[in-house]
Structure 1
Amino acid sequence: MGGLLYTSCFRFGAALGLSSAGAVLTAATDGAGPQAVLDGYRAALVVPLVAASIAALVAALGLHGRAGDRAGGPASASGPLPEPAGAAGSARTADVPR
């Protein structure tokens, strides 16, 4: 199930990135000459650069915020683990009549 979600998100992100770069390429190309097409490609290459920069920034801020949680371990950050439902009132195996 997780692999399907990962694949779907990856494909959606790739389609969104390609369509964004294609839209910028179309909008930035001012004519049919080779220099105009090259200018369009240069403008379109900025789209993945900006997307990767934003992703790196989000990852850096997200990892920076979680650095304090890992230092103390998972139990110290959230306190003791709760007992499973029904565990407090259930009988032990030694108390069960045979």
Structure 2
Amino acid sequence: MVVLQWAGSSVTFLVLSALATGFSWLFYYRALQMAPASLVAPIDKLRVAFAIVLGVIFHGEVLLVKLVLGGAVDTCRGADSCLALRNRDVSLRGVVCQWICQWQ
């Protein structure tokens, strides 16, 4: 039988991460109660772009091409869902995927 041993700091950060996740969902649902989904969802979809920017600023992460492309695709996914929620017949996802395939 394998027994897992956890360092005290690992358990602490695991618990803090679980609490942060729980609070983020509570805030998300509260935002949906206060505003229409067409305003809330695009802001929520920008979390990856915010994480990339904060990682570069505060942690000194290096901006790699694949990181920038991944962030761009995810940001376009957010814009695409915003347009879909507003009932427009536009798909940025298809345009970005075609552009990436041509770029490679």
Query: What band does the TM-score fall into relative to the shorter chain?
Result: 0.3 to 0.5
State the structure with more CA Rg.
1
Structure with more contact order per residue of length (Cα contacts < 8 Å, sep ≥ 6):
2
TM-score by length of 1: 0.33
- Considering fraction of residues, name the structure with more helix: 2
